[in-house]
C-alpha cells in the first residue's frame, strides 16, 4: 500500500524543502515501503498516511531545535524505522545519532542513510552499553515512558560540556500528562509543550532538567 500524495503536499506546506531534499525523502519512503514487507518497521495500516503520520510528525521537531554555535549533536533513543532520527538527518538538522538495539532495523537505517547521503550514525546496541558522549539534544518517539528516557540520558548528561544544558524534544501521545506527573516525582524540569501538527491527541515536549 503506497503513501497518499496529498499527505506529501501537506508535508511540504508545513516543512518547505529543496528539490534535492524532497527526492531524498521520497527515496526514504520508497525504501520503507519495500523493507516493511520483510521486517516490521511500521504498521502497514499507517503506510497510506506515511507523510503525515510519520514524516511530518518527525520533521516538526526541527522548528524547536535550540540554536547552537556549533553543529548540533542529537541523540535519538529507540530510532526504529528512523523517526525522528532519519528525517532530521535528511533535513540537515545536525550530527544525528540513532540508538537502535534491533539488528534488522539498524541495517535498514544504515541503508536509507547510505541511499540518501543523510550521514546518520547508527549505534546498534542497548543504550546503557553505548559509551556516552556530549549531546545537545535528545529526541525520542514512541520509545519509552518519560522517566525511562530521562534515566537513559544520565550518562550522556554527565559528559556533555556544551555551554547550554542539553534539551529534550520528545514526541508524546495522549498519556503525556500522566508521564509528566510521574517524572516530576524524581526530576525538576522546565517544561514547554507544543501542539502536534500531525495528531490532535499528541504533543511535543521540550524539557530542560534543572
C-beta separation of 168 from 153 below 8 A? yes
Q: Please indicate if the annotation marks 74 as binding a ligand.
A: no
Return the C-alpha cell found at 210. Answer: 534543572
Hey, which residues does 73 pair with through a beta bridge?
A: 95
CA dist list (Å): 125 to 83, 101, 128: 17, 4, 8
Which residues are CB-contacts of 11 (< 8 A; sequence separation ≥ 6)? 51, 52, 55, 56, 59
Burial category of 102 from C-beta neighbours within 10 Å (exposed 0-12, middle 13-18, buried 19 and up): middle
Query: SS3 for 194?
Result: strand
DSSP code of 64? G
Q: Please, what sign has the CA dihedral across residues 40, 46, 49, 54?
A: negative
| Cβ-contact 147, 170 below 8 angstroms | no
127 is in an annotated binding site: yes
Q: Dump the DSSP string for 169-190.
A: EEEE-TTHHHHHHHHTTT--EE
User: Binding site annotation covers 87?
Assistant: no
Binding site, by residue number, is 78, 83, 127-128, 141
- Residues annotated in a binding site for S-adenosyl-L-methionine: 78, 83, 127-128, 141
Amino acid at each position: 500500500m503506497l503513501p497518499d500524495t496529498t499527505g506529501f503536499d501537506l508535508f511540504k506546506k508545513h516543512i518547505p524543502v529543496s528539490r534535492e531534499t524532497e527526492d531524498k525523502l521520497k527515496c526514504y519512503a520508497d525504501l520503507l515501503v519495500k523493507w516493511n514487507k520483510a521486517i516490521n518497521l511500521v504498521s502497514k495500516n499507517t503506510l497510506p498516511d506515511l507523510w503525515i503520520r510519520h514524516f511530518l510528525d518527525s520533521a516538526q521537531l526541527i522548528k524547536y531545535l535550540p540554536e547552537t554555535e556549533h553543529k548540533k549533536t542529537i541523540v535519538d533513543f529507540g530510532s526504529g524505522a528512523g523517526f525522528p532520527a532519519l528525517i532530521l538527518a535528511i533535513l540537515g538538522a545536525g550530527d544525528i545519532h540513532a540508538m537502535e538495539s534491533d539488528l534488522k532495523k539498524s541495517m535498514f537505517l544504515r541503508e536509507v542513510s547510505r541511499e540518501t547521503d543523510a550521514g546518520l550514525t547508527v549505534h546498534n546496541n542497548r543504550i546503557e552499553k553505548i559509551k556516552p558522549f556530549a549531546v545537545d539534544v535528545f529526541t525520542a518517539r514512541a520509545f519509552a515512558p518519560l522517566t525511562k528516557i530521562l534515566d537513559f540520558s544520565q550518562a550522556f548528561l554527565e559528559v556533555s560540556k556544551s555551554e547550554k544544558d542539553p534539551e529534550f524534544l520528545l514526541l508524546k501521545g495522549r498519556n503525556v500528562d500522566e508521564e509528566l506527573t510521574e517524572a516530576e516525582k524524581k526530576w525538576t524540569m522546565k517544561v514547554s509543550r507544543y501542539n502536534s501538527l500531525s495528531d490532535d491527541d499528541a504533543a511535543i515536549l521540550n524539557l530542560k532538567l534543572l
